[in-house]
Structures are given as C-alpha cells and as structure tokens.
Amino acid sequence: MADLALEAFLPYRLNRIAAAVSQDFRSVYGPFSVSVSLMMWAFVSRLLMLAGAHYSASRHALRLASEVSARHLSDPESDI
C-alpha cells in the first residue's frame, strides 16, 4: 500500500495554515481572536462564493456566444 505524504495532502496543509493563523490571531487580538477569525473566514467564504459566481457567469456568456456564433455560421444572412 502506498504511503501518504502528509505534506503533499491539501487538507492537511490547509489545516496547518489555519492553525498558524489562529495562533497568530490569539497572540495579536487576545480575547477578540474568535470574532476576528470568524470575520476572516466569512470574508474568505464570500470571496470563494463570488469567484464561483464569476466562473458560472463566464461559462454562461461563453456558451451563449458559441451558440450565436454557430447560428451565424449556419445562416450568415440572418440578423442576430
């Protein structure tokens, strides 16, 4: 059975980064470290949501453009 190299395993690396950030928040913000870390994770999650929305909208626009292009190629005399 193949050995699992933890340093190359993405969830492990993300966990280590989160632990380091959490420790730094604790030393800097003291009793407010939990609320600051919650706000930081809320910000990151919204960035991911916006990135997904942008990706989805871009795919939709490309699909529409390819449909219009295909329609124009099949009937170049038509108005689009």
Helix (H) or strand (E) holding 3: none
**Conformational region of residue 30, where left means phi above 0, alpha means psi within -120 to 50, and beta covers everything else:** left
Beta strands in the chain (DSSP E): none
Residue 63 in contact with residue 72, Cβ under 8 Å? no
pLDDT tens-place string over residues 1-12? 467 777 777 888
Give domain limits for the chain. 10-74
- pLDDT tens-digit series, residues 10-47: 888 888 888 887 777 788 888 888 888 889 889 989 99
Q: How far is CA 13 from CA 45, 60, 77, in A?
A: 18, 33, 57
